[in-house]
């Protein structure tokens, strides 16, 4: 009777688990693709755009195609089969993607939410048009931390585009590409050769590439075209600006506003406040007209600075901004300019405009009237340039992030803060009595700004260093320089350092003491970074942690975990059923863990060692996988269990390494042939578990029996520890049950 009840209970529990598992385990497709063309009818020789539209589910986002593919996330990539009926013109263009800096990847990527669109221009060469290809992409959500890679194929032919006779005679252009095109195949039959298009950011000397061949990186070879042809560059840059992240723009505007506040506190501007206000309050005009003129004065300041930002935006545009933000030359130029700004703030020299120019502007201000008010504002802007020029230059330099709107927003935020005191004190002149008197403290503000400019200069040098792999400003060097700079700034605030223009400091004021405490506190926060501390609050400003030579956390993990892991591998290798890990030369586990990247190998070693298997369905471009590894796997309790209790296997669902031909197979799920590591294990995840999102963690025995309900993205360390412990317990119970049979 007891046995019967236990069996019923067991079946009930199994049924409950199955229902629960089925409710959460499902194959998701958060992005739906459709295709269109820019015109339905073309003549041979004319161009037409192929349009790829994507509808993205709420709370999901799709990575775009125009950021560095080495950054980490999986870029959207299009592959076109070569065919004599068409040729590619330029590269694939994403239309208005958003842009975001990610601390985890240590770089900036582009993405879409809601909807996405990609456009590829082609030239029609024959009436029987046939454009076939595939695309690969990744969608993610921050709601529950899932990321899913996908691939699909597309076809454009005469059903979508009607091709008429030849257009008016015109030279046929060839495109810059990776390899010379082979001889054209017979008409109407696509070849097996592919044209892979990956849009690269305009970061180096060469433009973003249109690559031909099997996914190799593009060079500047030229595809052979018909006679009388011309050659055009592959980078046919989109004219539309990428969509901006509103929260990022607000943050930038607030920072610019803060810079404007600091500008008011400099020696060139602060004494001008009461002088300017007295001009409006002591005039013979009515009080209302005086206040109106004060408003016009403030608006003129805003207009002048915003005009500067607009001019920079118009002159440089999106492509110029991309070039400026990433190319080595402008970054080195900004580095040296910021050094000069710092030297100016320290009192070594003053940056001034020509006196003849200032005299002419001031003469216009003396004419009075509304025009005179505008020129008064311009006179203030120009006269204060020796103090405000470095701040304005810093905002302009920092605004070059590939977005046209940023210089305008930055200058507006800066000028708003700069103009407010003059307008407000003109309206409420009684407030002037509460202002601190001018004195040596104004020069101290200027010197402190010099230290900050010096620290910010390193960011520009770091960008060039990272892009071109010079290795001159690794993370620990960068941190060491920051520690020295801010330590000197702290000593200056305490009066231990003195510059030529500083007045004698008889005592330390309370505000100055608090600023010194904050500065030294920041220095103390930086020090552990020299030994490998992540310093997450500054990750966007520091070089990647991978550039750090001495990382004590990594050393400890390798010594502790590495020895344990190596022992396990040695133990496994003493048994003929276990093998050295395949793909270990290019695939790796985090935190010094030792394991496998092939499920069959893991199953053999699990049987040999009598351990359960921990399967990590992951991907190179899965940001939430990296977040789990960084925040959960790194915990000592989790690492101990993974090292000692499990055979770990990481199955990369987006790896493009081709399998031996003998291992190719056709999926029972979608009927497609699986030729790569990634597609093999993505198919395995779907067919075995009815799930296609990552990260996804499964505990099983060597016979692929699932031990406990799989889990996914969950940053709770306690939950993950319970998950691992439950798997071990279930494995022991199963082994004990098998032994009793």
Q: Can you tell me the distance from the alpha carbon of 461 to that of 336, in angstroms, rounded to the nearest whole number?
A: 9
Q: Can you tell me the distance from the alpha carbon of 561 to that of 559, in angstroms, rounded to the nearest whole number?
A: 6
Residue 427 neighbours by CB distance under 10 Å: 16
What is the structure's pLDDT at 164?
A: 83
Q: Can you tell me the distance from the alpha carbon of 291 to that of 280, in angstroms, rounded to the nearest whole number?
A: 7
Q: Give the CATH number of domain 552-740; options: 3.40.50.360, 3.40.30.10, 1.25.60.10, 3.40.50.11260.
A: 3.40.30.10
Q: Can you tell me the distance from the alpha carbon of 163 to that of 45, in angstroms, rounded to the nearest whole number?
A: 10
What is the structure's pLDDT at 305?
A: 79
Which is higher by pLDDT, 438 or 7?
438
Q: Which residue(s) pair with 617 in the sheet?
A: 651, 696
- Kindly indicate the confidence band of residue 94, based on its pLDDT and cuts at 50, 70 and 90: very high
- Kindly indicate the confidence band of residue 439, based on its pLDDT and cuts at 50, 70 and 90: low
Residue 682 has pLDDT above 80, yes or no: yes
Question: Mean of the per-residue pLDDT values for the chain?
Answer: 74
Collapse the DSSP code of 345 into the 3-class scheme (helix H, G, I; strand E, B; otherwise coil) and give the result.
helix
Phi, psi (deg, nearest 5) at residue 405: -75, -20
- Per-residue pLDDT tens digits for 246-293: 556 677 788 888 877 877 776 667 666 766 666 666 655 677 777 787
Residue 528 has pLDDT above 80, yes or no: yes
- CA distances to 71, 317, 465, 467, 468 from 329, rounded to whole Å, are 22, 18, 11, 12, 11
Collapse the DSSP code of 362 into the 3-class scheme (helix H, G, I; strand E, B; otherwise coil) and give the result.
helix
- Kindly indicate the confidence band of residue 228, based on its pLDDT and cuts at 50, 70 and 90: very low
DSSP, residue by residue, 363-422: HHHTT-HHHHHHHHHHHHHHHTHHHHHHHHHHHHHHT-SS-THHHHHHHHHHHHHHHHHH
What is the structure's pLDDT at 190?
A: 40
Domain boundaries, the chain: 31-232, 246-441, 474-550, 552-740
How much is the average pLDDT of 113-134?
A: 91
Residue 429 neighbours by CB distance under 10 Å: 16
CA angle 74, 639, 553 (to 5 degrees): 80
What is the structure's pLDDT at 572?
A: 43
Residue 588 has pLDDT above 90, yes or no: no
Spell out the SS3 assignment of 495-514. CCCCCCCCCCCCCCCHHHHH
Percent of the chain with pLDDT strictly greater than 70: 66
What is the structure's pLDDT at 681?
A: 92
Residue 739 neighbours by CB distance under 10 Å: 7
What is the structure's pLDDT at 578?
A: 76
- Per-residue pLDDT tens digits for 470-507: 778 888 899 999 999 999 999 999 988 888 778 778 88
How much is the average pLDDT of 453-469?
A: 76
Per CATH, the homologous superfamily of domain 31-232 is Thiol:disulfide interchange protein DsbD, N-terminal domain (2.60.40.1250)
- Kindly indicate the confidence band of residue 299, based on its pLDDT and cuts at 50, 70 and 90: confident
Identify which of 59, 62, 55, 63 has the alpha carbon closest to the alpha carbon of residue 109: 63
Q: Can you tell me the distance from the alpha carbon of 199 to that of 205, in angstroms, rounded to the nearest whole number?
A: 15
How much is the average pLDDT of 24-43?
A: 82
Residue 576 has pLDDT above 60, yes or no: no
pTM more than 0.75: no
What is the structure's pLDDT at 9?
A: 43
CA angle 375, 378, 383 (to 5 degrees): 125
- Per-residue pLDDT tens digits for 307-342: 877 776 666 654 455 455 556 777 787 788 778 878
Q: Which of 53-57, 58-62, 68-72, 551-555 has the lowest mean pLDDT?
A: 551-555
How much is the average pLDDT of 680-701?
A: 90
What is the structure's pLDDT at 723?
A: 95
**List of residues 6+ apart from 700 with CB closer than 8 A:** 612, 613, 615, 706, 707
Residue 662 has pLDDT above 50, yes or no: yes
- Which tokens in the block code for residue 593? 């863990």
What is the structure's pLDDT at 603?
A: 93
How much is the average pLDDT of 586-610?
A: 90
Identify which of 528, 541, 385, 540 has the alpha carbon closest to the alpha carbon of residue 456: 541
Which is higher by pLDDT, 6 or 351?
351
What is the structure's pLDDT at 174?
A: 42
Q: Can you tell me the distance from the alpha carbon of 83 to that of 126, in angstroms, rounded to the nearest whole number?
A: 10
Residue 411 has pLDDT above 50, yes or no: yes
514-518-524-527 Cα dihedral, nearest 10 degrees: -140
């Amino acid at each position: 009777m007891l046995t019967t009840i236990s069996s019923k209970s067991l079946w009930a529990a199994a049924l409950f688990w199955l229902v629960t598992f089925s409710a959460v385990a499902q194959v998701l497709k958060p992005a739906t693709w459709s295709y269109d063309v820019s015109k339905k009818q073309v003549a041979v020789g004319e161009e037409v755009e192929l349009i790829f539209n994507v509808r993205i589910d709420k709370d999901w986002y799709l990575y775009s195609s125009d950021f560095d593919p080495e950054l980490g996330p999986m870029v959207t990539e299009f592959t076109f089969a070569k065919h004599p009926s068409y040729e590619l013109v330029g590269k694939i263009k994403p239309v208005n993607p958003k842009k975001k800096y990610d601390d985890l990847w240590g770089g900036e990527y582009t993405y879409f939410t809601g909807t996405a669109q990609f456009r590829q221009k082609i030239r029609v060469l024959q009436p029987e048009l046939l454009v076939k290809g595939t695309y690969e992409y990744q969608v993610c959500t921050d709601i529950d931390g899932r990321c899913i890679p996908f691939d699909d194929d597309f076809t454009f032919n005469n059903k979508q585009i009607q091709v008429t006779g030849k257009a008016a005679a015109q030279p046929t252009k060839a495109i810059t590409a990776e390899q010379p095109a082979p001889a054209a195949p017979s008409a109407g039959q696509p070849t097996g050769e592919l044209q892979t298009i990956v849009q690269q950011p305009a970061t180096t000397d060469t433009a973003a590439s249109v690559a031909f061949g099997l996914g190799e990186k593009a060079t500047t070879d030229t595809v052979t075209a018909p006679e009388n042809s011309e050659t055009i560059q592959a980078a046919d840059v989109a004219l539309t600006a990428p969509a901006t992240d509103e929260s990022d723009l607000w943050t930038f505007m607030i920072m610019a506003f803060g810079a404007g506040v600091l500008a008011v506190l400099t020696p060139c501007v602060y004494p001008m406040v009461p002088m300017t206000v007295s001009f409006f309050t002591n005039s013979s005009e009515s009080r209302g007209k005086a206040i109106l003129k004060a408003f016009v004065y403030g608006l003129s300041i805003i207009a002048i600075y915003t005009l500067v930002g607009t001019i920079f935006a118009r002159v440089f545009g999106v492509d110029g901004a991309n070039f400026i933000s990433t190319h080595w030359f402008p970054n080195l130029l900004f580095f040296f300019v910021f050094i000069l700004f710092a030297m100016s703030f320290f009192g070594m020299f003053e940056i001034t405009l020509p006196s003849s120019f200032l005299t002419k502007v001031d003469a216009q201000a003396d004419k009075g009237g509304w025009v005179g008010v505008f020129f008064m504002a311009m006179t203030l802007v120009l006269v204060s340039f020796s103090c405000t020029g470095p701040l304005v230059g810093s905002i302009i330099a920092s605004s070059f992030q590939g977005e046209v709107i940023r210089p305008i927003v930055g200058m507006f935020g800066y000028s708003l803060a700069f103009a407010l005191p003059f307008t407000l004190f003109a309206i409420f002149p009684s407030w002037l009595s509460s202002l601190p008197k001018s004195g040596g403290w104004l020069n101290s503000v200027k010197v402190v700004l010099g230290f900050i400019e010096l620290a910010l200069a390193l960011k520009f040098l770091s960008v060039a260093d990272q892009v071109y792999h010079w290795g001159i400003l690794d993370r620990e060097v960068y941190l060491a320089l920051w520690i020295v700079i801010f330590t000197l700034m702290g000593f200056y605030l305490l009066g231990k350092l003195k510059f030529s223009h500083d007045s004698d400091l008889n005592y330390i004021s309370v505000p100055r003491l608090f600023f010194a405490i904050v500065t030294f506190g920041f220095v103390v926060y930086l020090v552990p970074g020299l030994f490998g501390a992540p310093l997450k609050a500054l990750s966007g400003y520091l070089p990647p942690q991978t550039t750090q030579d001495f990382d004590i956390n990594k050393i400890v993990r390798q010594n502790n975990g590495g020895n344990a892991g190596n022992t396990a591998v040695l133990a496994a290798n003493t048994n003929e059923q276990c093998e050295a890990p395949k793909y270990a030369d290019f695939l790796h586990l985090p935190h010094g863990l030792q394991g496998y990247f092939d499920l069959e190998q893991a199953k053999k070693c699990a049987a040999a060692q009598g351990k359960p298997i921990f399967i990590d369905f992951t991907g190179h471009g899965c940001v939430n996988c990296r977040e789990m590894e960084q925040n959960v796997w790194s915990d000592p309790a989790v690492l101990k269990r993974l090292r000692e209790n499990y055979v770990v296997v990481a199955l990369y669902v987006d790896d493009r390494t081709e399998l031996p031909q003998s291992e190719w197979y056709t999926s029972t799920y979608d009927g497609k042939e699986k030729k790569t590591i990634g597609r093999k294990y993505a198919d395995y995840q779907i067919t075995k578990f009815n799930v296609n999102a990552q990260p996804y963690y499964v505990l099983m025995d060597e016979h692929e029996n699932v031990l406990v309900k799989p889990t996914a993205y969950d940053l709770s360390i306690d939950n993950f520890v319970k998950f691992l412990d439950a798997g071990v317990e279930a494995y022991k119970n199963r082994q004990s049950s098998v032994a009793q049979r």
